Structure 1
Amino acid sequence: MQEIYLRKRFFSCCCYWLTGVPCDQFGIPLPDGSAPPQRTTADPTDWSPFTTRIAFETADFLFRRAQMPQAQIDELMSFWAATLSKHNDSPPFSNHSDMLSTIDSSTLGNVPWQSFTVSYSGKKPDRDVPEWMNTEFVVWYRDPYEVIKQMLDNPDFDGEFDYAAYREYGDDNQRKYKDFMSGDWAWRQSDIIAKDPTTKGSVFVPAIFGSDKTTVSVATGQNEYYPLYLSIGNIHNATRRAHCNSVLFHSSLSYILQSLRPGMTEPEIMRFPDGHYRRTIFGLGPYIADYPEQALLACIVNNWCPKCTAPADDLDSGALPRTREFSDVQAENLELGEAWDAYGLVADIVVCTIFQL
């Protein structure tokens, strides 16, 4: 089903069911033309959790701008305390730990960091056990649910945000592609979601991920890091700016994204850039990655195609698509070596043991 309307010089067809109807905080649709509720503004004299403006600016200078070493912060606070003691006063922080704990306790601005540990819990060889199998790794992340919630509530995106998937055509009836929600994937996903009548009037918010392995050599001994990036497909483009690794990466990714799972089937009430509340359905959208990251995500052997089962030396062989269902069947029915050689599939990815810190 489609709804056709004129938008500037282009005809747009919007998904009829997932239209992003404004609602109240309880999910009840509002009458057409209703104004959004006013946003609450913070008291300009409230510097919480910092005691004063001086405390905030001191922390901002030392931590963000000067990036002063912790030992030097302690020394500075000691000097500061000595000059204030005769006035029965004290510096804004007793030491670097006091300053950092105050920064971490802030509830405004960025979503706080969390961490968990991940370790291998599968079968180990009898001899020469690889070091990574006995190592406990720390994963730091921000809750993607809270990150998306904060992005949706950002008024800076008002006017640069699509509340529904659409297809746009020019005067010559040629399809026009621009932002993410104008593409076929967003339209198809909206059609799938719309089969559930409880989603009527909701906004489909697809999460877009990207990652790129980074090696940090300074003072870390060539450690490898896997930063994971997140955006959402509704924001306009102009506004949006190895085997052991597979085991750990997949388990960590699954754990990090678990907070989005409930909102993928049951709409949740979120506030949007225009100030209105809307019922929201999450979805996992595209994952932006170069080839090494694609191989890592697809659980394939290096140099194999992540989209089909064609070997690297014969990509035109008419091989089968590499689907989740196909890979599951091969992993269940083939020996590890057979899956590796015949389909380039790393079939023994296991769930790791994860502990919340």
Structure 2
Amino acid sequence: MLAQRQHLPYYPFTNVRQYQLAQSLTTPRLEANQTIHNIAVLGQDRFLSENAGFQSVAQFHSCLDEMASVMTPWQSILIKGDDNLPEQEPVRYWLRDSLAVLQEILENPELVDHCVWGPVRQRNSEGERVYTDMHTGDWWWKVQVF
């Protein structure tokens, strides 16, 4: 998927409009197939921007599956209460490998211009030091290896 994204930033979607449509149909939850059909398939020639729709509900789901297949998978574990406490229901906890997620973020070419890789000393128009974010503070200068 990384290779395809270098040529098509919104892969597996064809463009930003199709990506935004898919996002709106999956957030906060995935819409029913009939809703997806009525909006993403039938709306293609009626009220959606050109090339924003999908040929079928199957194509819509295929794009979602393609995205999920290359992302770090979610894992679930059950957390049980202390044995000395009264009977409690176990809690299901969902997690992802944080190092793998970080790698996905760092490999995303869309984020290159939004990341800061080293400390910066910012100054205002009067020459005074300005502290705004972590990379403008003294701590990063102390720990950064150059």
Task: Give the structure-1-normalised TM-score.
Answer: 0.23
Higher relative CO (CA 8 A, sep ≥ 6), structure 1 or 2?
1
Larger of the two Rg values belongs to structure? 1
Task: Give the structure-2-normalised TM-score.
Answer: 0.49
Specify which structure has the higher proportion of helix.
Answer: 2
Specify which structure has the higher proportion of strand.
Answer: 1
